Amino acid sequence: MLLLAAAPVASALGLPVPLPRLPVDLPPPVQGTLDLAGSELRAVRERALLREHRRWLEADPRGAPAIRSEVVAIAPTEAALGRARDAGFRIVRESVLAPLDLRIVVLRAPEGLRVRSALRRLAKLDPDGRYDYNHVYLGSGATGADSAASTSLAPAGDGAPPRVGLVDSGVDASHPTLAGVDVRRWGCGDRALPDAHGTAVASLLAGDARGRARGGQLFAADIYCGEPTGGAVTTLAEAMAWLAREKVAVVNVSLVGPPNQLLAQLVDGMQRRGHVLVAAVGNDGPSAPPLFPAAYPGVIGVTAVDPRDRLLPEAMRGDAVDFAAPGSELWAARSGGGQARVRGTSFAAPLVARLAARELVLPTPGAADRVVRRLEGQARDLGPRGHDARFGRGLLSGDARAAWAAPMNED
């Protein structure tokens, strides 16, 4: 069972392991094994990342990766920064995120001081200040090795949303599934660095399964840029500021990681300005602790079901779950052409975000509650009646499954 559960992570790491089909009602011991395996497999991925890039990354007390020796100061006072400099900290960079009324300063800890100790030292120097790790956030799904060629066939299920945002890795804007979509990029110094995860999510978010030109705009922020320090919360902050500046009402975030004070501030700032955030809840298993940003209040957290509307065994459960959507046996765009089979909550979230984008054209204070109510009216209740920890308020985008359930053929 551990080998079966390992398939999504193995695919994410580029290993040629086919995605398994798992039974629905697993015996408790087996489900427990999968539960443990889900969180352990993400930990394996994190440990591999830390080991391969130890020069740039270090682990926080939970084992989550963060930028080595960097501390994020949130809206620090000049007096606090002065005390930090006197204690041996060095200012690496500073960002003023005007659309979010937020200033962040990245500090370099003194030589030989781990971030954990640096945070304790700063807490003594500035008891009222807010400091945290510069955490790195990872995708919450896997693309498979299977592929098929692209062509134009029958109409897809639902239409592309008119305007939607994406925070992920790079997107292959030339892929046929994104035909006619105005893809506006941010990050990487204006370099286009397409990636498997970002391209797959983008196709489900704004594309058409049969390659028909659908129009609309996709604001795609690449926070990875192919770098070992990619996915840092400080880069995510700058991406969110860009989306706020562009007045993108609905933003899909298929990334997961630990709680972080800057991330919480970003979520709060975006929501107060009327943006709606949709995020994957993660694949760490039913009993795993919550992952963020999906677990923050107000974020629309999305879990994943299989073609028979059964919750994926690796999908997380709990208060963070607002809706379920198809998240396995789907074919999404593959960077460079063709399609890849995808599985995980990463690929369920964009199907919900594209529905949310139909409900909200421009950011509007209080919009999140209204959008959730509108989506709830479209959802099909699964599991116990009403809102539950497995399926949230019910299944959305069931009709989209038919569009993305088969690869495109050459003829």
So which residues are the catalytic ones? Answer: 168, 197, 346
Which among 366, 387, 210 is positioned nearest to 298, based on CA atoms? 366
| DSSP one-letter code for 289 | P
Which among 147, 115, 149 is positioned nearest to 131, based on CA atoms? 115
Other Cβ atoms closer than 10 A to 151: 12
How far is Cα 156 from Cα 133, in angstroms, rounded to an integer?
A: 43
CA dihedral (281, 284, 290, 292) positive or negative: negative
| Burial of 294: CB neighbours in 10 Å, binned 0-12, 13-18, 19+ | buried
C-alpha distance across the termini of the chain, in Å: 38
Tell me the sheet residues that pair with 223: none
Q: Position of tokens 């979230």?
A: 349
Q: Do residues 267 and 339 lie in contact, with contact meaning Cβ atoms separated by under 8 Å?
A: no
Question: Pairing relation of β-strands 57-59 and 65-74?
Answer: antiparallel
Q: Do residues 215 and 181 lie in contact, with contact meaning Cβ atoms separated by under 8 Å?
A: yes
| DSSP one-letter code for 60 | -
Amino acid residing at 36:
L
Which among 39, 35, 41 is positioned nearest to 7, based on CA atoms? 41
